[in-house]
Amino acid sequence: MKFFVDTADIAEIRDLAETGMVDGVTTNPSLVAKSGRDFFEVLRDICAIVPGPVSAEVAATDSKAMIEEGLRLSEVAGNIAVKVPLTWDGLKACRTLSGRGLMVNVTLCFSANQALLAAKAGATFVSPFVGRLDDAGHEGMELIEEIRTIYDNYDALATEILVASVRNPVHVRDAALIGADVVTLPPAVLRALAAHPLTDKGLAAFLADWKKTGQEILR
């Protein structure tokens, strides 16, 4: 499974990228707005840090303008994935942009039928929002299971399932068990994957025993 980090915070991306755990980045207008910086400057900085896909979202809502904005975004760097909403206009834009060889991330997916449409439109990624479904009283991971089953039924569907709106490590584990291709997660959730109280307890015990020996590894 690939890990994308869901942020526009350059310091966070750089720090996490040094671990080798970051395969890509997803951004959206809200995340870029939080940075307080110029949109294109932020994208250029991120693309220079992370060689994998960097999702940059269009602001237009009609297909013609989406295509124009997508082409402009693709000029930032070769690893830009143009992000479009899962609407009819977004699907039209996806078809055109993917036909020109660009990576396209179709976002705001909330049903298996929507995911099927995105795949038929040539999406590189489809982003189902599991956390928002959970918030609305549904089981977000049931959607991931449905999409995985549908995509696996047809060899011609090459779209990757990019699990979005990830709120906690359980979402990551469940997505991996189902076989999702990618999860995009906030930096705090990515860091939380390494945390376990028994790890902390065991390390404290080892360090205490080592201290009793009075020895040093580096002298």
**Active site members:** 83
Q: Measured in whole angstroms, how far is the alpha carbon of residue 17 from the centre of its chain?
A: 14
DSSP output for 9-37: -HHHHHHHHTTT---EEE--HHHHHHHTS
Spatial separation of the C-alpha atoms in residues 168 and 164, rounded to whole Å = 11
Q: What residues contact 140, with CB distance under 8 A and at least 6 apart? A: 128, 129, 130, 131, 132, 133, 134, 165, 171
Spatial separation of the C-alpha atoms in residues 97 and 75, rounded to whole Å = 13
